[in-house]
Every structure is written in C-alpha cells, then in structure tokens.
C-alpha cells in the first residue's frame, strides 16, 4: 500500500476521560487485510521518585504495568490486562511477580534474566522490560509510536517514532530489512536481539527490538481467531510461546471476541492511551 503521509507521527491526545474502545474504536475488518496497517503506542512515565508506569496499546492488546523500586531493586510490580484476545491473559500478572527483588537495568531485555519469557504474557513482559529500563533513564516521559503495513508484493513498511521524531523506517521482505541501505540485509529472525545489543547504541537497540516485535504482532491481522470459541480449537497455534499458549492454560482459555480494534485512521490512532492518566489516580498521594 502507499501511505498518505508515511513520515508523520500519529497524533496524540492526553488527559481524556476513560472511554470504551469497543464503542469508540471500530472493529478490525479481516476481509480488508492486505490494504491496511497495524499500530502500537507505548508510553512510559515516572510518576514519583520510586514509581514507574507504562502502558501499551495496539489493535489486539491494552496492558498496563506499575512498578515500585528503591533505586536499586524492584520492590513490586503490578500488571493489568485492560484488553486482550484470550480470557487467560488476565492471569499473566502472576508469573510476572518472579521479577520482584531483581536489579534495575538500563537494558529492556534484562528482564529475560529475571523470569522466563515463555511463562509470561509476551506483551506484558516486553512492556515491563521497558518500564524497568525507563526507571533509570533521565527523561520523565517516553513515548514510542509503531506502525507496520500489511504485506504488499511480499514487502512491509515498519516505522517507529520516539517522542514524536521518526527514528526507524524499514522496508522488510521475507523477514529481512531491504531498505534503508544502512540496514540492508539485517534479518529480523533468530538472533536479532543480541545483534542489536552488540551493534547499536542502547537507546536505538531498545527501539529496534520493539519495532521487530511489531512485525510479529501485525501478522495477527491475517487470521480471524474470532471464529474460535476456545483455546482447545487452536492447538495448532504457537504452543509454548507465552503464558496462554502453554498446553494446560490454552485448554481452558476462552476467546475474547470482537476485542480487536482498528486504529488505522488518525482520529482513532490519536486516542491510543488518551485516558492513561485516569488509571491509578487513587493510589497517587498527590490526588
């Protein structure tokens, strides 16, 4: 597809009162796959000297993480599942508790040394890693906007904006970057994460790893799992990849139908995380 304004960051709205995505945002139309795009927004903020919050929202998911620390170690972590494709995703806060007591790190992937990624919700786990990293950074707020186009002639465009500035713009074919020239030939399969950590500066590596994840997420537009009633009908899925897709959990999972939304249009993209500030206010001493 040809993007109308491929270099423009999606608009951002903040301070909005809580709203219902299932009402305000249109459902995804699987019949239109091949002509659209997939979006994700991640916002990280330090609300207090010992508290960091992150939220992640995309077409398929909406998760929140609140973390407290003593400047050196993680004291508590709370993962909230606000919108997810399976009923059992709501249980994913439990395995996340294993990271309590671990050291803070400037690397978002350090969380992989604290707990098993495949025993956790992939997206909640990734978000928590970013929250840990943000805790030791200087800036108060960081926002990533990510976008992946549907496949066209076996190619996809992947873009990432950091705090409103375009940082990464890739064209990918067969899971390999073919443009721009300085990224040509880099495979997004296999050992991309250790490659990024070794070859890129830490902040660019963090962004590149997040954008690579978006390529995998966007493939969900190509299959309508709302045709299923429960996980027992999806044993041909990615078993072993995450908490819900472990055998014993998937067998009792129920499909959360019609939760996949379409944030393609700018007026809808602007609403991603627009009500983030309304959550957790009761725990904030300033209120």
Q: How far is CA 212 from the centre of its chain?
A: 11
Strand partners, 53: 45, 66
pTM over 0.85? The answer is yes
Give the residue among 141, 125, 162, 145 at the shortest CA–CA distance from 46: 141
Residue 36, pLDDT score? 93
Indicate whether 284 pLDDT > 60: no
Residue 7, pLDDT score? 58
Q: What SS3 string covers 68-88?
A: EECCCEEEEEEEEEEECCEHH
93-105 core/surface letters (b: 16 or more CB in 10 A; e: else)? bebbeebeebebb
pLDDT in tens, 230-247: 999 999 888 999 999 998
pLDDT grade, residue 110 (50/70/90)? very high
Indicate whether 148 pLDDT > 60: yes
pLDDT in tens, 176-194: 999 999 999 999 998 999 9
| Rounded alpha-carbon distances, angstroms, from residue 164 to 43, 101, 198, 272 | 12, 34, 26, 14
Measured between alpha carbons, how far is 1 from 273 in angstroms, rounded to an integer? 27
Residue 184 gets which letter from DSSP? T
pLDDT in tens, 112-133: 999 999 999 999 999 999 999 9
Two tokens at 258? 């019609």
Indicate whether 80 pLDDT > 80: yes
């Amino acid at each position: 597809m040809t993007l109308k304004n491929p270099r423009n960051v999606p608009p951002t709205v903040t301070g909005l009162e809580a709203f219902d995505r299932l009402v305000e945002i249109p459902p995804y139309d699987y019949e239109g796959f091949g002509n659209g795009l997939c979006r994700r927004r991640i916002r990280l903020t330090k609300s207090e000297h010992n508290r960091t919050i992150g939220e992640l929202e995309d077409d398929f998911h909406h998760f929140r993480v609140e973390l407290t620390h003593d400047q050196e170690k993680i004291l508590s972590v709370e993962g909230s599942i606000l919108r997810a494709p399976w009923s059992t995703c709501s249980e994913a806060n439990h395995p996340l508790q294993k990271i309590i007591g671990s050291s803070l790190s400037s690397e978002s992937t350090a969380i992989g040394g604290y707990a098993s990624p495949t025993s956790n919700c992939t997206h909640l786990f990734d978000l928590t890693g970013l929250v840990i990293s943000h805790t030791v950074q200087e800036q108060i707020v960081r926002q990533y906007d990510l976008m992946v186009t549907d496949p066209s002639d076996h190619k996809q465009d992947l873009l990432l904006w950091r705090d409103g500035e375009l940082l990464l713009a890739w064209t990918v074919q067969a899971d390999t970057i073919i443009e721009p020239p300085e990224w040509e030939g880099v495979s997004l399969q296999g050992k991309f994460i250790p490659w990024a950590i070794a070859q890129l500066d830490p902040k660019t590596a963090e962004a590149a790893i997040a954008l690579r994840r978006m390529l995998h997420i966007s493939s969900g537009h190509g299959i309508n799992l709302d045709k299923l009633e429960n996980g027992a009908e999806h044993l041909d899925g990615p078993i072993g990849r995450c908490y819900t897709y472990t055998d014993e959990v998937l067998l009792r999972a129920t499909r959360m139908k019609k939760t996949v939304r379409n944030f393609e249009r700018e007026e809808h993209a602007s609403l991603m995380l627009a009500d983030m500030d309304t959550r957790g206010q009761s725990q904030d001493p300033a209120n």
